[in-house]
Amino acid sequence: MARDPRFDGRFFIGVRSTKIFCRPICPARPPREENVEYYLSAAAATAAGLRPCLRCRPECAPGTPAWNGVSTTVTRGLREIAEGALDDTGVRQLATRLGIGDRHLRRLFVEHVGAPPIAVAQTHRLLSAKRLLDETKLPVSTIAMAAGFGSVRRFNETFRRTWGRSPREQPKIRGMPLAAGLQFRLRYRPPFDWDALVAFLASRAIPGVEAVSDGVYCRAIAPGGIPGIIEVSHAGSEILVKVDHPRPEHLLAVIARVRRLFDLDADRFAITEALRADTVLGRLIERRPGLRVPGAWDAFELTIRAILGQQVSVAGASTLTGRLVARFGRPLETPCAGITHRFPRAEELAEADIGLIGVPRKRADTVRAFASAIAEHRLDLNGFAAPDQIREQLQSVPGIGAWTAGYVTMRAFGDPDAFPAGDLVLVRAAGARTIRELDDRADRWRPWRAYAAMHLWQGVRDGNLLSMDRKPDRQAAAGGR
């Protein structure tokens, strides 16, 4: 009834009398309570036979908050579905990759999301296609491919069944400027600290691969092995994403990664409620209530950077990674200033003489060992494994410790409970005397320890906690590598 935007996407409101479902922020007159049914997701409402509201546009709602009472298996499944895991394969294959049976996966989805995996995938494709119809000038055939439909005919049939009209009959939103190319406007739940997030990414941008200029983030991508560029900016209450890539069928996977990179689906309400009881964190949250955990475009890329950054400053880590890219990456011609290369593949680094970029032999050996493990499929960072398994796999590589493993799962896999173990800056920032004391205190921050770490690191950078004149030991760096 309050139309509070903090709850946008956390649930949906179905109206029995009209058979329409809405976002909590819908401006329409509230329905009679006896006619209302509540749903955990847009997919659950669609599976119940309801149509999306044309006024509040459920396709524009932020994603369902992950890790908010949802099993980790479902969270991983939702992430893979958003990147097109069910476009070419079935539920059985997805369940196998997640390490469970397909029947059990269906039960988990119905319990936690309100709809089976195939219904979630279908709703995601359909609502994404409607957004492209509303907001771009792309032809219907391109939109059908971008949304993951196997054919234009199938897209037309599904769209007509849901909205009672064909895609070509869909009216455009009044007053909305239409984009000629691949462009998306992404919503989030306020508050959102864009300045802090983009500053974090800017200080850790890999020269040649990513760059930040005037608050705009740009980077090289290669979905399907085909090079391209994304450009991300903040406009009003939206994130604007421009994608320069010749294959539109990869668009939704790219957008899903952007959402994770900028942590757009974070449930700030739940995070704040859980952390503000801590005296230090409560003060920091008041100063930066919209702080997010910056993600990473690619787990392999982030892990290599974290290894190179051991025992050096954040700037030093960027310099070393830039040298690696310049020597072993593939050149690119792009319209974005500073974007000149694709990050090297695991197969290329496994055979490379890493010492040529000026790192100690032991660290060079760690880079090669990690790249070899990825190239030979002994270590898999595709996201299907649980966070604990990913941390164990990473730490099986000589030279990768608990701090690096926690940092990678925190950023590359969006684990909100990941924690960079042994970070001495976090110990001092939290006012703890020892690492053990910090770990014990951090148990009270579960399942949001990653956000607690970000607030403590940000408090250090803002000068609200302690001076950073002293250089922390080994991997314990403010804000990570």
263 is catalytic: no
Nearest CA to 249 out of 94, 90, 88, 384 is that of 88
Tell me what percent of the chain is helix, strand and coil, each rounded to the nearest 5: 50, 10, 40
CA distances from 174 to 128, 135, 136, 171, 178 (A): 19, 10, 13, 9, 10
Does the active-site annotation cover 26?
A: no
Q: How far is the C-alpha of 22 from the C-alpha of 83, rounded, in Å?
A: 25
Q: How far is CA 118 from CA 57, 124, 171, 363, 380, in A?
A: 22, 10, 28, 44, 25
Residue 300 token pair: 């392999």
Please say whether the dihedral angle defined by the alpha carbons of residues 122, 57, 247 and 241, taken in this order, is positive or negative.
negative
Using alpha carbons, select from 464, 456, 452 the residue that is nearest to residue 424. 456
Q: Are 96 and 131 in contact (CB under 8 A)?
A: no
Q: Which amino acid does the sequence have at 327?
A: R
Per DSSP, the three-state class of 256 is helix
Which of 8, 22, 60, 278 is the catalytic position?
Answer: 22
Backbone angles phi, psi at 279, to 5 degrees: -60, -45
The DSSP letter of residue 243 is E
> What tokens were used for 449?
């320890």
Selected catalytic residue, list 214, 265, 423, 462: 423
CA distances from 408 to 277, 308, 315, 394 (A): 27, 13, 18, 9
Q: For 390, phi and psi rounded to 5 degrees?
A: -65, -45
Amino acid at 189: R
DSSP 122-143: HHHHHHHHHHHHHHB---HHHH
No. of helices (H) and no. of strands (E), the chain: 21, 11
Catalytic annotation, residues: 22, 423
